[in-house]
Chains A and B, each alone.
Chain A
Amino acid sequence: MKQNDFRILFFSALISLIGLAMIFSTGGSNYLLKQTIWLVLGIFFSLLVSKFSVRFWSAFSFLFYLLCLLATGLVLFYASGYPRRWFNIGFFSLQPSEFTKIGTILFLASYLSERKKLEKFADFFIPLLIIALPSSLIFMEPDLGAAQIFFPIMCVMLFWAGMPFEKILIFFSPLISAFTSFSIYIWLGFMVIFGIFVYSRKKLTEILYHIIINPITGLITPLIWHSLKSYQQKRIIAFLSPWIDPKGISWQSIQSKIAIGSGQVLGKGFLSGTQKKLEFLPERHTDFIFSCIGEEFGLLGVLIVTFMYILLFYRLLRIAHETKHKFSSLVVIGILTWFWYQTFINIGMTLGILPITGVPLPFISYGGSSLLACFLAIGIVLSIQRGKY
């Protein structure tokens, strides 16, 4: 048995240190102190958790999952404030949805690792059920940013467990059909191209799926949408994207782009971002912290941060690849997808290429629960890695 390879812990801690510097720059010493305490706790728990065996994670995965569901359910009743996301415990508050990501990944991995073949269409439905429960509870908080993350995690884990990529694509085609249906030409294009693809595979269930379910979702969605009153549509849009600035749809996005763009190559220097100083940038220590990195350290800062994320993600992917134990491998892939998806969505949002949904940047955004959950996940990967060799 080999000793632990602490590189992933090292990368994570390094990214978190950049986060600490940015939190000081955007939020001041008060936020810095709190986040530092969380970081120390996070590393401590990470090391603690790494002592457990893979068998432990696998044996208790269902229990973890149930506990997480219970916590996310309870937060809807006992949360402090609105949205109902946090438990207030003395001096700090906990956000169960962050930990639910871990519980769901463990249970999904344990379920998928016991399946031999993943070729039937029905193989989708149980994983979908597993993620739908926590996802809809979190959706009710409401926290769309956290609720949506379970879908990419499920897809990548299914893929890793052996489900062909095309299957996943076909399964999700009704969603594509619904989204494209607002323009009849795009929708017809999708139906034709996708149809050719499905018919070439000559599988009856898939063809039936394409000629029944896709047209139904595609035709019904615009009908439902247009039958709604305009205030109902507005309510749905507002509900789906609660972070939209009530005073102007794209103000945050504009300010974020100015911040990043004005950083140019080398940035304005640490603590000298003008955008954040003038309070132009809302949520600058949480969801929009990347904008401040771009402003104060320029393209250089962006390169360094993204490079460190790539290193971390490649390392995780390699661990998943080299682990022969199926459950362990799936857990690592689930965790990787979680970090990767959040990073991409968050940065994409600050660059103005993705809609604004409140997703924290892993290891960097201010927030105790998010940081602690990330380090717990790293701890689990460490324990898996130990069992590998």
Chain B
Amino acid sequence: MDPELKKYRFLQIAILLSFVLILFFSFKLQIFEGKYYHRLSEENRIKKKYIIAPRGNIYDRYGRVLANTRPAFYVSIIPALAEQKTITKIAQIFGIDTTEIKKKFKIEKNPYVAIKIVRDISFKQVSMIEEHRSELAGIEVGVEPVRNYPYADLFCHVLGYVSEITDVELKLMKEYKIGDYIGRTGIEEQYEKELSGKDGIDYVEVDVLGREVGKVAEYRPVPPVPGDDLYTTLDLELCDSTAQLLKPYPRAAVVALNPQNGEVYVLYSKPGYDPNRFVRGLKAAEWNALINSQDAPMFNRATMSCYPIGSTIKPFLALVALDKGLIEPKKRFEPCTGGLRLGNRIFGCWKIHGSLNLVEAITHSCDVYFYQLGKFLGIDNIAEILYELGFGQPTGIDLPQEKGGLIPDRNYLNKKYGRSWTEGHIYNLSIGQGDILATPLQLARAYTLFANQENVLVVPHLKLHQPPTIKKINKNIEALQTVREALHRVVLVGTGTLARVYGYEVSGKTGTAENPHGEDHALFVGYAPTEKPRILVCALVENAGHGGAVAAPLVGRIIKIFSEIEKRYSHETE
């Protein structure tokens, strides 16, 4: 055959064959399977059913579960199959509003996708649905994995909670669908991407009542991908003990971390709330009660509440004075006579201390000494060291919604008080009062400089096995050493003696933050052992009085419990 003709015939046959193939499959769909597909299309009885992917578990540093999933019943409606009377009946059984149900219908475009109406219902409610089955077309009861927090409020602030996605969020986040849970606050929000898995899909055929008749064999289900597990630096036992120790106090915050690498053992705030309640979905009244409560239980005091830091500021002033060579450690100011006059006002001290040098002034927390040191340093030196140690900005811990606090520097004071601000403002700042505000976490981070002996600040973090993030500080080693010695003496013979732990060298600083609205807040930041500390604890107890009396013993006990846990685990691993 002529080669031209051969090519012509070849393509002719190829074109014909391709259309034969198309017609063959059209035939198959429309003639052989036509009835089946017609039936499916009549009521579009093929339903896409999501197989919910379980959320990843959250563990503490030793692999103990802090958050997992448990099965829960839910009720859903297929809008295309449900009649008005069905919706009314369901609303009646569960005591909800029909308009609320209908609002959910509008979000999902496909009327054959089941929409979850009530979740985490009791077995009794399930049986009620089953009893009325015949009147409830388009209703189905199913089981889904939901978040479970076995320790209720113990970790509520640090873990956060999950709740159903809102319709506003749905429009912004395409990868979510109606009824999905999403992490709110805490680790749940921070690590949402890792923790949330990817739902699978099942194709099922349903009857006119919306009941599943069987699988559509032709379509293979897409298996769900479970979320990743997350190991945190937290220590369940230490957290629990901390909560026990804080029982007598209504409001408090405690941060405990490893000052060498920033691993956070405890991030506790009270009062709290039970995050399990959010799984079912809070009613408006419950939600309002939570957020309007005087005690602000939703608030993580450790990272979001800003307090004056009281006398815990004193080591920073000492450090900047020594580092810049502005004073000698032996330097004595005017002796403390219980107060210092400025104009016609007297700035008091809590005790008559007499003549003190720098180390003694920190040890006994003499206010008069620090009024004079503050005045000598001036506002700029003080603001500079506070900025350098990270005050006035979030610590960068892996948690959302962290607050930054406030440093009253020259600009701030000019703006707030005009040019008329006085030395009195510096006096106040020098003992951690007045406008300065910081979170307990910021204070803990600042003290890592004294604790780790590496001349660095360590950024706290919650995800286990993360390399530490550090910030070089570069202070004069001798200056640092002097402050450390003073901090050690605070616990040995000074205001913090109640923090002593048998067999452990503890260092730290007490603080009492005056509170214009009531009793003072008690503060203590301590670390141990002094040589190479493995734990640093910052405790703040609201309205509890003096730091030395309330916060110091608390920190001492937390350090003691830590050392016991540590000993036990080192034995176990040996």
Interface residues of A (CB under 8 A from B): 156, 159-160, 162, 165, 246-251, 254, 257-265, 274-275, 278-280, 294-295, 298-299, 302-303, 306, 309-310, 313-314, 317, 321, 333, 340, 344, 347-348, 351-353
Contacts and interface: CB of A to CB of B under 8 A. Distances in A.
Contacts of A274: 41-42, 44
A254 B110 contact: no
A309 B16 CA distance: 10
A265 B27 CA distance: 9
17 contacts: A249-B201, A257-B37, A258-B37, A261-B37, A261-B40, A262-B37, A279-B109, A280-B44, A280-B110, A294-B29, A299-B31, A340-B15, A344-B18, A344-B22, A348-B21, A351-B22, A351-B26
Nearest to B177: A247
B46 interface: yes
Contact of A250 (B22, B27, B29, B219): B219
A285 B29 CA distance: 21
A258 B41 contact: yes
Interface in B310-327: none
A251 B48 contact: yes
Contacts of A165: 10
Given A248-B222, A260-B26, A298-B30, A314 B12 contact: yes
A368 B216 CA distance: 38
Top 10 A-B pairs, shortest CB-CB distance: A261-B37, A262-B41, A264-B34, A261-B29, A262-B38, A262-B37, A321-B8, A299-B30, A351-B25, A248-B201
Given A274-B41, A310-B16, A261 B30 contact: yes
Contacts of B37: 257-258, 260-262
Contact of A310 (B15, B25, B26): B15
A156 B177 CA distance: 46
Given A258-B46, A279-B110, A310-B16, A265 B30 contact: yes
Nearest to B45: A258
B347 interface: no
B46 A254 contact: yes
Q: Is the interface of A mostly helix, strand, loop or mixed?
A: helix
Given A160-B7, A251-B48, A348-B22, A262 B40 contact: yes
Given A260-B30, A262-B41, A265-B34, 18 more contacts: A160-B11, A249-B201, A254-B216, A261-B34, A264-B34, A265-B31, A278-B44, A280-B44, A280-B110, A294-B26, A303-B23, A309-B19, A313-B15, A314-B15, A347-B22, A348-B25, A351-B22, A351-B25
Contacts of B12: 314, 317
A20 to B, nearest CB: 22
A264 B25 CA distance: 12
Contacts of A309: 19
B174 A246 contact: yes
B222 A306 contact: no
Given A258-B41, A279-B109, A279-B110, A306 B7 contact: no
A305 B3 CA distance: 32
Contacts of A299: 26-27, 30-31
Contact of A306 (B5, B19, B203): B19
Contacts of B34: 261-265
B195 to A, nearest CB: 15
A321 B44 CA distance: 49
A254 B49 CA distance: 14
A263 B18 contact: no
Contacts of A259: 41
A348 B216 CA distance: 21
A298 B31 CA distance: 10
A257 B219 CA distance: 12
Given A248-B222, A306-B19, A340-B18, A261 B38 contact: yes
A261 B26 CA distance: 8
Contacts, number: 117
A254 B204 CA distance: 12
A246 B12 CA distance: 39
Contacts of A303: 23
B177 A321 contact: no
A285 B272 CA distance: 55
A322 to B, nearest CB: 9
B111 interface: yes
A294 B7 CA distance: 33
B350 to A, nearest CB: 59
A294 B21 CA distance: 16
Nearest to B26: A302
B36 interface: yes
B44 A306 contact: no
Interface string B172-216: 001101000000000000000000000001010000000000001
A250 B37 CA distance: 16
Contacts of A248: 48, 201, 222
Contacts of A294: 26, 29-30
A260 B41 CA distance: 10
Contacts of B5: 321
Contacts of A352: 25
B33 interface: yes
Contacts of A257: 29, 37
A222 to B, nearest CB: 22
B131 interface: no
Contacts of B21: 348
Nearest to B18: A344
B30 A310 contact: no
A258 B7 contact: no
Contacts of B46: 254, 258
A254 B44 CA distance: 11
Contacts of B44: 258, 274-275, 278, 280
Nearest to A162: B3
Contacts of B109: 279
A353 B7 CA distance: 28
B546 to A, nearest CB: 54
Contact of B19 (A160, A250, A298, A310): A310
B4 interface: yes
A313 B174 CA distance: 42
A263 B30 contact: yes
A89 to B, nearest CB: 29
Nearest to A299: B30
Interface in B27-68: 27, 29-31, 33-38, 40-42, 44, 46, 48
Contacts of A314: 12, 15
Contact of A261 (B11, B19, B33): B33
A325 to B, nearest CB: 13
A278 B23 CA distance: 27
A254 B31 contact: no
Nearest to B201: A248
B7 A302 contact: no
A8 to B, nearest CB: 15
Contacts of A298: 30
Contacts of B41: 258-259, 261-262, 274-275, 295
A258 B30 CA distance: 9
B93 to A, nearest CB: 29
A314 B12 CA distance: 7
